[in-house]
Structure 1
Amino acid sequence: MWRRRRSSSDTNDIRQHDFVRGLQLPAVRSVRDLVPFVEERIGKPIRLQPAEVGAAVPCGMWIATSTGCYLFYDPETSPAHQDHIIAHELAHALMGHRGMTTLLAPMAGGLLGLLDPGLIAAVLGPAGGGASILGRTNYSETDEFDAELVGSLLQQHANSYRPPSGSEEADRITRTLLRRGNPERPE
């Protein structure tokens, strides 16, 4: 019998699945609910920031400074796409990816008006002031590919949430489903 030889992408997929399993993620209803977990894991507060910055800028961006992190996402896209962007950027944080230490000109134009002047100084200061920037633009780089896969796994985890049996939420869902199946059943 022929056995398929594992490719480097298969090995990477296994490594990323193992990484996510090793995180021991809490049960959450959405990717956004993972923010406190990621904050604790990286030891910094994270601020989710919708940012209308135009087509010249990536649809998502992660800026990490020594005191906090800013996750920018496009508020003009669908909620599902916003969650995908957020999951991708959280994946970068969890994997400890480092990005650029200076803002590229097209990115700077839209973001500078949204940022605190102290943050701008930290990012644009000498050698980036210890800040790093990751912009979600393409998937050719290994870090981007890994963040895309781990972000998808984070979304899969969040989408697998089921309320505990016997909880008020589970009972409410059950009552609704039973009522829909039998319209004469009282509420």
Structure 2
Amino acid sequence: MIEALEDSEILPNPFNIGIFINRVEERRGRPIRLVAMSGSHNAPCGLYVKTKDTDFLCYTRSKSPLHQCHIILHELGHLLLDHHDSGWRSEDLHRLLLPDLDPKMIKSVLCRNGYVSPNEDEAETFAELILAPRALTHDFDTMSSTEPPPDIADVIRNIERAWGAQVGGLRD
């Protein structure tokens, strides 16, 4: 897969996550928006939310730009590897994450530790294969995130609350 990306010139050289995302958007014909979230220990680091028109790749803020890049590449891996069922649809999340639900119940339903599905393992390998040869030779900038529309922002706040994170970490 990585060789095919390099051959198709989707993977920029030198590597730049912003250019890579732009090229993936062009290839897929859908906009991709990055959204920074607050995280907590043992909570998932990333989340892909698919809406009718846009793919939102949510990533946990980290002091390490390399770690943030890894999370985003993992979520991009789901898109490029055609993992159709890996993205949470906003309508499903709204049903699952109503504000009056007990956050402990939500956490027990959604939180995962480790990669138990083949799609998760493939997406993780995808991120590692892109980063491994570039990690020591490139500087990774802090990711810039966008403010999601209100309905997606509500979903993310509920996810943050369910995972025990400081709620409202959407802004840089």
Alignment of 1:1-187 (within 5 A): 16-21=1-6, 23-24=8-9, 25-55=11-41, 57-98=43-84, 99=86, 100-101=88-89, 102-103=92-93, 108=97, 138-156=114-132, 159=135
Q: Deviations over 1:44-68 (max 9, x none)?
A: 1111110115457421001122311
Which has the larger helix fraction? Answer: 1
Equivalent position amino acid for 2:125 in 1: L
Q: Distance in 2 between matches of 1:109 and 1:73?
A: 21
After TM superposition, the score normalised by the length of structure 1 is 0.52
Equivalent position amino acid for 1:58 in 2: P
Give the paired residue count: 122
Deviation at 1:71, TM superposition (A): 0.6
Which segments of structure 1 move beyond 6 Å, counting only runs of 4 or more?
none
Residue segments in structure 2 that go unaligned for 5+ positions in a row: 100-110, 139-172
Equivalent position amino acid for 1:152 in 2: E
Q: Deviations over 1:63-121 (max 9, x none)?
A: 12231110101114522211110110111111121225422988x479xxxxxxxxxxx
Q: Distance in 2 between matches of 1:20 and 1:147?
A: 15
**RCO higher in structure (CA 8 A, sep ≥6):** 2
Q: Deviations over 1:24-46 (max 9, x none)?
A: 32324333431101111111111
SS at match of 1:86: helix
Indicate the structure (1 or 2) with the bigger Cα radius of gyration.
1
Deviation at 1:138, TM superposition (A): 2.9
Among the aligned pairs, what percent are the same residue? 31
Q: Distance in 2 between matches of 1:53 and 1:104?
A: 20
CA shift in 2, pair 1:18/1:40, >3 Å: same
SS at match of 2:127: helix
